[in-house]
Amino acid sequence: MKEKSIDKATLQMMEKAKCDNVCTAFDRAAQQEPRCGFGELGVCCQQCYMGPCRVDPLGKGAQYGACGIDADGIVARNIARNTAIGASAHSDHGRDVAHNLYMTSQGKAQGYEIKDPVKLMYVAEELSVDTSSGDVKKIAAEVAHKCMAEFGKQEGELIMAQRAPEKQKERWRKLKVMPRGVDREIVEVLHMVHMGMDADYRNLLMFAIKAGLSDGWGGSMIATDLTDIQFGSPNPLRSKANLGVLGENTVNILVHGHEPTLSEMIVKVARTPEMKALAKKKGAEDITVAGICCTANEILMRQGAPLAGNYLMQELAIVTGAVESMVVDVQCIMPGITQVAPCYHTKIITTSKKARIPGAVHYQFEEERAVDIARQIVTESIENYSNRKRDRVQIPKESSDLIAGFTTENVFYHLGGKFRPSFKPLNEGMIQGRLRGVVGVVGCNNTKVVHDYNHVNFVKELLKHDVLVVTTGCSAGCLAKHGFLDPEGGLQYCGNGLKEICVAVGIPPVLHLGSCVDNSRILTACIEMVKEGGIGTDLSQLPVAGSAPEAMSSKATSIALYVAASGIAVHFYPPFQVHGSKKVTEYLTSEMEKDFGAYFIFEGDPKKAAQKIIAHLDKKREALKLKPMMYPPLNGETDKKAAEKQAAVSKS
Amino acid sequence: MSKIVASAAIRGAHSWAEEAEAALKQAIESKGESQKLEFPETAFFLPMAYSLLGMEVKDLAGAKKIMARVRSLLPPVPSEKVWLPYLGPTLDAGIATLLSTEMITALRYLRGELPAQGDQGFISDTILRSLGIQLVDGRMPGFAAILGSAPTNEIAVKVVRELQQRNILVFLCDNNDGKTMRQQLEQEKVELGWDTYIVPLGSDLVSGIYALNWAMRGALTFGGHKRGEFVKCLEYQRDRVFAFGLVFGEVTDRRYAVGAGAINMGFCVIADTDIPEIRPTGVTLFEALVRERNYDKIVPTCIQTRGVKVKVEKVPIPVNYAAAFEGERVRKEQLAVEFGGKASVAFEWLRMKSLDQVEDGKITVVGPDVDTVPDGKSLPIAIIVDVAGRKMQRDFEPILERQIHHLINGAMGVMHVGQRDIVWIRMSKDAKAKGFKARHFGDILHVKLLQNFPSIADKVQVTIYTKKEDVEKLLAEAKKSYAERDARVAGMTDESVDTFYSCTLCQSFAPSHVCMISPERLGLCGAYNWLDGKAAFEINPTGPNQPVVKGETIDPVKGQWDNVNKFVYQKSSKKIEKFNAYSLMESPMTSCGCFECIVAIVPEANGVMIVNREYNGMTPSGMTFSTLASTTGGGLQTPGFLGVGKLYVTSRKFISADGGLARVVWMPKDLKETVRERLEARAKEVGLDDFLNKIADETVCDNAGDLLPFLEKVGHPALTMPPMF
């Protein structure tokens, strides 16, 4: 495909960028070609100053690094280090949320409150915090403390990991990958990848998995639960996605990054009459706060704030010329934005001490002054409205309707009402053959893949085959833009069984679960499926799978490892940089199943990848002796097997 | 829930709530908040509010509280575009409707507006106790709430009669354009009332609540659930009260709202108009909302959708039917007609079919019947039983088919021997004289299969062929199916599965005995193989056959697994800590007392003897079968003595840890003949030449003294094997 994206708004802005002589990630990525083959295969080692060393994957040149490490060791080390980085990013995010909850409980955080005391009590009980007092602040303080203690815990097992089904936990204990404390596991991996440490690829992978599990069942899970407690558990709500959400005549503030703490406050402040009045005074009709990346997902899930775009659109959003400010916190923020912004009037505002960018204005975020900072940022953005160069403004008209705000907890209600809350209709859907299974499609964008192409085509193929999709992160952003989150429009892609379920419940076929730390919701939802019964006693028996079809970050590595180690097969593309080692590749794509009940699929063609996932779901269905699928796939193509089975049943 | 249905139900719920609120407001204005509010003759106050909200409402002040809860439950109508999920809200709207309609009817009693003469109105606790118990214990298979009037009197009568025939209680309410079904039935002189199972509740839709708050009290009275335990109360309705709604005529918003209330209780709704269906399951047992435009099918559709199990008490045949007749023989002099044996070609074949391919209760006989044959002669026969069920599986076919033997035998004057294509059926002159015909085989199988296997058989139809060419043609097909079934077990090994099945059926007399059935070791009674165990578990998940995941292998040779040990330990009341599936000498499996054969050590011969139950002579062990049985049985581990099924003798796993088949030095001639074919094959497999002739039997000797010289003479392999202990 010649085009670099399948999103019209993106293409329009790429064209505009070209006219405006602005360089974006798409151009810079092209300039990086050809990529270093050693790096791509993961056989380049930079762990010490004797290096960089590299091993010839074709077996002709050097087979060992200067210290004697072989390709397997190098590849495994690189993946392990990558996992540690990703796990620490999610976990530090979780820690910040816990800190914010603690400050709020102490009355030290300006403008914050505890919005979901019910979930607070639930989590408190789980953490063995005494709830008899009913004192929300006191309990919140203890919950926050206990969660923070999980990071530095040296012994025992992570408390949240206890949520996993028994069989799962036994497996982890046997393989010695049950995480003790979040930081403990990450530091251990970092130690192991130091020069002259572990050279045994299998051992390295086990410790990487352990660090990954400390993310999924630790840092990320804490982030999700505490964010729900503090900012309210999401409920289904309406919004819109794509650059068309930017207002022609409104002050446009883009929040970008990952954490909800400041962005929630910016949304809150921007909605006050005081700020609205100021905006009017400055000639704007209103204020639009829209998001990019996972910050977008956080404020979308809880506040219904519109989603401007996903990862690869962060610079293009500025190219519209209609953005007064882009406020960023942590993770996935391209330094390139401060190169694009000067071409327009946009102010780049950094807010985290951990993520400063040359050329940006910095407002250090502090819980104690959150409202003041938010007000300052919003005010400054409003002030900047008059600097907008009208002749340089071009806002694409694309924006799609969407429903977001699904959580493990609210699925109970939506499947049974207040009086019969239950997961049963979901499990029944799979048992009876209306639903083939559930697949989590998550992750980023990557310039190596045509923007959005893999997400869209992978999901289309799944829906056709009656697979319910849950989504988070930039994948959710993509699927929202392309209409899959619209309960009416989404139906056109569904097989008949999936359609019956969607129509019965009133949901789109793709359910938005939140940001990338909210992948933990996929784990908790799977636990509830196991509890409801009839489709397996362990996550690895469920007809479920995960996919990151346009993966980019180290966080994706960590997520993929913890998901697979939790027994859920993972499709991942572009592949882990492991193909320089046959053994590591072999372990991940096959042997891993014996240990963890799941494995990796590295497949670039989204349709083929979906078919492999479908075959995987069918294998699980067969093992569980679930009913044959009720309907042949939409359009009748592919999946001859299902059609044959159908024929066999009706014939007999 | 399609959006159309959801929107209508939510609109309907709002309208019900408004009516209830207005009526309550008026009542409070005229009588004050302290005015008593109650239904006649009930201890459950307003039963819906009592069970769902836990509220004991006695007066109008309490009624206000109910209506406040109703308000909080009422969701907005789903938007035209980009709607939010509506199933949960619609179910809430249903609950609001249940509470509102109950309120409206309670206020009617307060105002002294009693039901019209002949209409039941509120159903008292007394009727609940006398009839409700039948409803929840299954004597009364379910109830139907019929809304509106049928398009014609004829259809009204037909529908009601079909329900009556099945002992299903019918409630009538609501009207279509002023016409009620009660009027229709009265015009057709159909007798109404509790005695005839047709109860008019009232002429308007709101009267429908009387049936629902009657059923709801069942959860409290018979289910033992407490007030306010709403999930338990509603699930009790779904699981125990097989009720459904049948709507004639247009489904209005208010009718949809009542339907949403019923669906919360797990009751499905069937309508005769072109409504959008809700087929996904989970809230209701099967489909929630179904349309059926064909009045011939409407009652069967209701029954199938709700999963009502209709029991026929008596088998409709002209001769007596009871288990007592099972052992009865039909001798030659009594013989009217026979099928199979050596007289004609005959077979039975039970097949799984899909629900739409089976018409329940359809019995067809193709060919001449028994009265066309002179006494003492024979007819060919093919008995083809088609079973459909939502939980039916191919693996259940042989199990149900095996039931045919004892089911047909229960008829007085009918003898049934064998199975599949070695079946032999005889009918006596008495039976023929009383009018027994070929179709009655079908009647027996239809009634009894549904009765005995309610969880898997939903529909049964039987076709009987008595023309030779038909029978022969079908037999070829049946044989294919038999072979397929056999192949399914034959290819299986203990290593190829990760799950075995337990059998604790005999714990009533051997409390510590646990049978462990694996593909290569069938139950010691010979009646259950691994597939049977598996199917039995699926038929009855809480029964004596439970799946046991093998777990870690502790000893692959002796056959010991971690989880199997744990399971046996637990199920033997902590008496048996471990057992070896393939060993006679070390921690062998226990035996109950039902074993077909006993394997016993013969120390002198360094081997084992096998004796079957039917053999009553002396054996080389110095004991008869019955003396041996008292040592072997009782659920104890007795090394050297083992109860087994006949087929196990030819298994690859037959005491394989102790040397296997080569250890067998003696067995009765009859037993040898029974298993000869398999035994020869197995001996050949392990390289034992002419092995059968090396095994002594009672014609050679019945004591150890004479046994040894024989073994030495034939060069029995056991003599040169390592010592057994």
B594-645 pLDDT, tens digit per residue, is: 788 999 999 989 999 999 988 989 999 989 998 888 888 888 888 999 999 8
Nearest CA in chain B to A487: B82
**What is the predicted ipTM?**
0.93
State the pTM of this model. 0.81
Enter the DSSP assignment of B312. Answer: P
* Residue A479 pLDDT: 98
Across the range B489-514, mean pLDDT stands at 83
User: Strand pairing partners for B548?
Assistant: B500
pLDDT in tens, B409-449: 889 999 988 778 888 899 999 999 999 999 999 999 999 99
* Residue A243 pLDDT: 98
The rounded distance, in Å, linking the Cα atoms of B170 and B146 is: 7
Which residues in chain B have their CB less than 8 angstroms from residue A538's CB? none
* Residue A640 pLDDT: 53
Across the range B702-712, mean pLDDT stands at 90
The rounded distance, in Å, linking the Cα atoms of B625 and B619 is: 8
User: Which among A419, A504, A506 has the least Cβ separation from residue B264?
Assistant: A419
Q: Determine the residue among A420, A630, A652 to mutate to test chain B binding: the one whose Cβ has the most chain B Cβ atoms within 10 Å.
A: A420
Give the CA distances from residue B394 to residues A161, A322, A347, B388, B517, in Å, rounded to whole numbers and listed in that order.
40, 66, 69, 10, 20
Which residues in chain A have their CB less than 8 angstroms from residue B1's CB? 503-506
Closest CA to A546 of A487, A627, A609: A609
The rounded distance, in Å, linking the Cα atoms of A356 and A354 is: 6
The rounded distance, in Å, linking the Cα atoms of B366 and A153 is: 79
The domain limits of chain B are: 3-306, 323-485, 495-720
To the nearest whole number, what is the mean pLDDT of chain B?
90
For A378-392, the DSSP string reads HHHHHHHGGG--GGG
CATH for A406-651, among 3.40.50.720, 3.30.465.10, 3.30.1360.200, 3.40.50.2030?
3.40.50.2030
Nearest CA in chain A to B78: A506
The rounded distance, in Å, linking the Cα atoms of A560 and A550 is: 12
User: Residue A435: CB partners within 8 Å, gap ≥ 6?
Assistant: A426, A429, A466, A467, A468, A497, A498, A501
Nearest CA in chain B to A505: B87
Confidence of residue B81 (pLDDT cuts 50, 70, 90): very high
- B495-720 sits in which CATH class? alpha beta
Maximum Cα interatomic distance, chain A, rounded to a whole number of Å? 76
- Taking one residue from A and the other from B, the number of pairs with CB-CB distance under 8 angstroms is 114
* Residue B522 pLDDT: 86
* Residue A647 pLDDT: 59
| Long-range contacts of B67-76, Cβ-Cβ distance < 8 Å, separation of 24 or more | B67/B17, B67/B20, B67/B21, B67/B24, B67/B99, B67/B100, B67/B103, B69/B99, B70/B17, B70/B20, B70/B96, B70/B99, B70/B100, B70/B103, B71/B17, B73/A418, B73/B99, B74/B10, B74/B13, B74/B14, B74/B17, B75/B10, B76/B10
Across the range B670-676, mean pLDDT stands at 86
Distance of CA B649 to the CA centre of its chain: 33
User: Which among A418, A422, A649 has the least Cβ separation from residue B73?
Assistant: A418
Answer with the residue of higher pLDDT: B573 or A529: A529
The rounded distance, in Å, linking the Cα atoms of B189 and B185 is: 6
User: Which stretches in chain A have pLDDT values below 50?
Assistant: 1, 637-639, 652
Task: Classify domain B3-306 by CATH number.
Answer: 3.40.50.2030
* Residue A646 pLDDT: 55
User: Which among A432, A505, A652 has the least Cβ separation from residue B352?
Assistant: A652
pLDDT in tens, A101-141: 999 999 999 999 999 999 999 999 999 999 999 999 999 99
- B323-485 sits in which CATH class? alpha beta
The rounded distance, in Å, linking the Cα atoms of A443 and A449 is: 13
Closest CA to B200 of B169, B224, B230, B157: B169
| Long-range contacts of A152-156, Cβ-Cβ distance < 8 Å, separation of 24 or more | A152/A181, A152/A183, A152/A184, A153/A180, A153/A181, A153/A182, A153/A184, A154/A180, A154/A181, A154/A184, A155/A180, A156/A180
For A173-221, the DSSP string reads HHTT---S-HHHHHHHHHHHTSTTS---HHHHHHHHHHHHHHIIIIIHH
User: Is B616 within 8 Å of chain A by CB?
Assistant: no
Closest CA to B172 of B224, B122, B246, B234: B246
Q: Would the pLDDT of B504 be above 90?
A: no
Nearest CA in chain A to B4: A503
User: Which among A414, A424, A500 has the least Cβ separation from residue B88?
Assistant: A414
The rounded distance, in Å, linking the Cα atoms of A121 and B489 is: 53
Q: Determine the residue among A419, A435, A541 to mutate to test chain B binding: the one whose Cβ has the most chain B Cβ atoms within 10 Å.
A: A419
* Residue A638 pLDDT: 46
User: Residue A99: CB partners within 8 Å, gap ≥ 6?
Assistant: A144, A148, A367
Across the interface, do B234 and A420 touch by the CB < 8 Å criterion? yes
Choose from B111-120, B297-306, B310-319 the range with maximum mean pLDDT. Answer: B111-120
* Minimal C-alpha gap between B378 and chain A (Å): 32
User: Which among A403, A416, A650 has the least Cβ separation from residue B283?
Assistant: A416
* Residue A645 pLDDT: 57
* Minimal C-alpha gap between B278 and chain A (Å): 6
The rounded distance, in Å, linking the Cα atoms of A17 and B690 is: 91
Answer with the residue of higher pLDDT: B506 or A606: A606
* Residue B691 pLDDT: 92
Return the amino acid letter for A342.
P
Confidence of residue B400 (pLDDT cuts 50, 70, 90): confident
* Residue B486 pLDDT: 75
Which residue's entry shows tokens 């092209």?
Answer: A30
Instruction: Please state whether B244 falls in left (phi above 0), alpha (psi between -120 and 50) or beta.
Output: beta
A451: enclosing H helix or E strand: none
Query: In terms of CATH architecture, what is A243-392?
Result: 3-Layer(aba) Sandwich (3.40)
Across the interface, do A421 and B6 touch by the CB < 8 Å criterion? no
Confidence of residue B530 (pLDDT cuts 50, 70, 90): confident
Whether A275 and A287 have beta carbons less than 8 Å apart is answered as yes
Topology at the third CATH level for domain A71-231:
Substrate Binding Domain Of Dnak; Chain:A; Domain 2 (1.20.1270)
CA torsion through residues B83, B88, B94, B97, sign? negative
Q: Determine the residue among B281, B391, B548 to mutate to test chain A binding: the one whose Cβ has the most chain A Cβ atoms within 10 Å.
A: B281
* Residue A644 pLDDT: 60
The rounded distance, in Å, linking the Cα atoms of B646 and B624 is: 18
Confidence of residue B175 (pLDDT cuts 50, 70, 90): very high
Q: Would the pLDDT of B519 be above 50?
A: yes
Q: What are phi and psi of A277, to 5 degrees?
A: -65, -40
Which residues in chain A have their CB less than 8 angstroms from residue B234's CB? 419-420
* Residue B307 pLDDT: 84
Instruction: Please state whether B606 falls in left (phi above 0), alpha (psi between -120 and 50) or beta.
Output: left
Do the domains A71-231 and A243-392 sit in the same CATH topology, yes or no?
A: no
Which residues in chain A have their CB less than 8 angstroms from residue B94's CB? 417
Q: Would the pLDDT of B288 be above 50?
A: yes
The domain limits of chain A are: 71-231, 243-392, 406-651
Across the range B276-285, mean pLDDT stands at 87
Which residues in chain B have their CB less than 8 angstroms from residue A487's CB? 82-83, 85
The rounded distance, in Å, linking the Cα atoms of B259 and B265 is: 10
Closest CA to A440 of A476, A414, A409: A476
